[in-house]
Amino acid sequence: MPKPPSSLSSSNNQGNLPADAFNSTNPEKAVFELFSEHRSYDYQQLDTTLEYSDYKLMPHQAYGRKWMADQESDGRNGGIVADEMGLGKTLQALVRIKDDRISAIARGGTVGPTLVVGPKSILLQWEEEIRRTFHFDERLICKIYHGANRSLADLDKTDIVLTTYGILNSDHESTEGMYSYFDTRLLLILMLNVNKATKWTRRYGLFRHSWRRLILDEAHEIRNPGTKKAKAAFAVNAEYRWCLTGTPIQNKLYDLFSLFHLLGVKDFSEDQWFKRNIEAPGARSRNSIRPGAQRLLKIALGSAMLRRLKTDEVNGCPILSLPPLQITVWNCQFSPSEREFYDALEARMKDIIEELLNQLEHGDIRFYSTAWVLLLRLRQACLHPSLLIEQRLEQVADDVGSKERRQDVSNKDNRCLLCRNQTNSDKHKEECGRFIDMAKIFSRNQASTKIKITLGLLREIKTRPGNEKTIIFSQFTSMLNIIEPFLQRQGIRFARLDGTMDMNRRKQQLSDIKEMPRVTVILVSLRTGGVGLNLTECNNVILFDLWWNPAVEEQAFARAHRMGQIRPVNVYKLVTENTVEERIMELQDRKKKLATETLDRDEIENLKKLSKKELLSLMACHS
């Protein structure tokens, strides 16, 4: 069962926060400034050596080591490690687990295993970090709990169990089903079929055990407390609870509630109390705070959270010095046939959007769904026209859309193949169908402008000394499919990472790019590989297509530009001239606040935050 609420203290760590963090006339801005301002920590006289590793901790990591130990020993039972990405949150967590185990042995005792939960993309990263950090005879024993044949055998000999939010939820649902079954059938099962009772017991899975600690990596995944994965996390029986996330707030102030609830922070972990005392009543802004609640929130975060930025300083120097990051916006010019196709498609999209403007005036949510599809089609045309016919919209939505969007596009009743509008108009469908026919002219074997530029960049990179490697990011897995044969024809050996791969194949692909000198490129789905991965073997990044929120792009760049990188990192953003991509770039520049405040990956939600004028400008329409 969850731990009882931990006490809340205004002492100890609240001095870590900026003194004027909430002394602002704009409390909405102040909430986010709390996570972006520099903090002052005492990094003096900290032991940076590890007796069980050749690795020497950096000063901020040594401080994190002590802070995490103090949090577990003073009644807080855990906390939030919110260091900016690339500062070593995983390493600090592993050191805490190892130190705890050593202390227990010194006392003549033992400690139970730690359960680590995260997106599938980061489990192998934890395993690799364990292998790389500890001496061979000092390594923590790790088990990946995933797949249909997952097992918790020999748990008493295991230090860490790694699993995903999906598996945690699956075991939680099985546990709930078991309880329901036992409520009415327990006695009968035990009397008539012992084997069946044993089967139900096995379905208990992760919830059959008590854990020394629960660590949620990318903990913002549970920001909505009503989701199944959040409820599953809350139900884990753990002595200590930790949230690792570089973005505690992704979209709104209420995102913090789930983290407080998991930690059991008194009052803040109660939903009605949080809404009544922290959130501004009736606030439409995603980060509004109730007047007078600033100090309460400051104390809570000061007590439960450790937050450092790469630009924070130790003795006048940044806590992390990385090689330079050079971002080049590569302007791409369509071929005449691509330009003709794109311009005609954009004109059609304008006609449709203007037909639907009255929906926006009446606040019809379907307007945003339609606008999303229209913009999606324009973005696809910037990459390769065949995407309009090669990729089913359901797959696109699964890559880049929300659950609501996936459900919407799966409804095929009277929907236009191009714009997905629900219409009975044969004329409308005929007009849109013309562009599907035009797209068929472009063979997927014909290199688009962006593919030609990508191949040219790879040829230039190959001439550099040192066997440099490259990550190619796209949010469309079908675009990665189109790129593959062009790499093969050029004799370029590559690995690939996307959401369709099982754990063993992912492990092999990562091993190839990291360890095989002849494998010089890795194709990565932005949604799958944009977080949690360490790809410092690569020092070049090609962003094949743009994401709405540049903060998500920055997370992708950080796969290469992070601790452990020894070479300058070159990022190439491919942007097609006189298209929706240029307008997205302009919007990103105007919306720097959006980039720094949120990491919302739901594209429709991002569209809702735009003004009518901004939305129409993306479509090259005039309001």
For residues 46-69, average pLDDT: 93
For residues 217-246, average pLDDT: 94
More confident residue, 18 or 280: 280
For residues 498-510, average pLDDT: 89
More confident residue, 139 or 317: 139
Select from 3.10.20.90, 3.40.50.10810, 3.40.50.460, 3.40.50.300 the CATH code of 14-37+51-165+208-307. 3.40.50.10810
360 has a pLDDT exceeding 80: no
For residues 129-136, average pLDDT: 92
The CA distance from 323 to 620, in Å, is 39
Lowest mean pLDDT among 24-33, 166-175, 474-483: 24-33
Q: How far is CA 130 from the centre of its chain?
A: 22
For residues 312-324, average pLDDT: 85
Q: What are the beta bridge partners of residue 313?
A: 318
Contact 534, 131 (CB under 8 A): no
The CA distance from 288 to 285, in Å, is 5
Residue 270: phi and psi, rounded to 5, are -100, 120
Domain residue ranges in the chain: 14-37+51-165+208-307, 325-331+447-618, 336-439
Q: What pLDDT score was predicted for residue 244?
A: 97
The CA distance from 353 to 436, in Å, is 18
The CA distance from 503 to 110, in Å, is 31
For the record, the structure tokens of 622 come out as 């005039």
- Assess whether the region 14-37+51-165+208-307 and the region 325-331+447-618 belong to the same CATH fold: yes
Between helix 89-106 and helix 59-73 the angle, nearest 10°, is 50
Of the pLDDT bands very low, low, confident and very high (cuts 50, 70, 90), residue 28 is very low
193 has a pLDDT exceeding 50: yes
- The string of pLDDT tens digits covering residues 424-474 is 566 666 666 666 766 667 777 789 999 999 999 999 999 999 999 999 999
- The string of pLDDT tens digits covering residues 525-573 is 987 777 778 899 999 999 999 887 777 788 889 999 988 899 999 999 9
For residues 290-303, average pLDDT: 78
More confident residue, 574 or 299: 574
220 has a pLDDT exceeding 70: yes
52 has a pLDDT exceeding 90: yes
303 has a pLDDT exceeding 60: yes
Of the pLDDT bands very low, low, confident and very high (cuts 50, 70, 90), residue 176 is low
DSSP string, 140-203: PPEEE--STT---TTGGG-SEEEEEHHHHHHHHHHHHHHHHHHHHHHHHHHHH-HHHHHHHHHT
412 has a pLDDT exceeding 90: no
Q: What average pLDDT does the structure give for the chain?
A: 80
For the record, the structure tokens of 382 come out as 């910037």
Residue 520: phi and psi, rounded to 5, are -115, -5
- CATH placement of domain 325-331+447-618: 3.40.50.300
Provide the percentage of residues in the chain whose pLDDT is more than 90: 43
Q: What pLDDT score was predicted for residue 524?
A: 95
**What pTM value is reported for the model?**
0.77
For the record, the structure tokens of 568 come out as 């300058």
For residues 363-378, average pLDDT: 76
The residue count of the chain comes to 623
Of the pLDDT bands very low, low, confident and very high (cuts 50, 70, 90), residue 262 is very high
Q: Please give, one letter per residue, the 3-state secondary structure of 2-70.
A: CCCCECCCCCCCHHHCCCCCCCCCCHHHHHHHCCCCCCCCCCCCCCCCCCCCCCCCCHHHHHHHHHHHH
For residues 288-305, average pLDDT: 78
5 has a pLDDT exceeding 60: no
Of the pLDDT bands very low, low, confident and very high (cuts 50, 70, 90), residue 612 is low
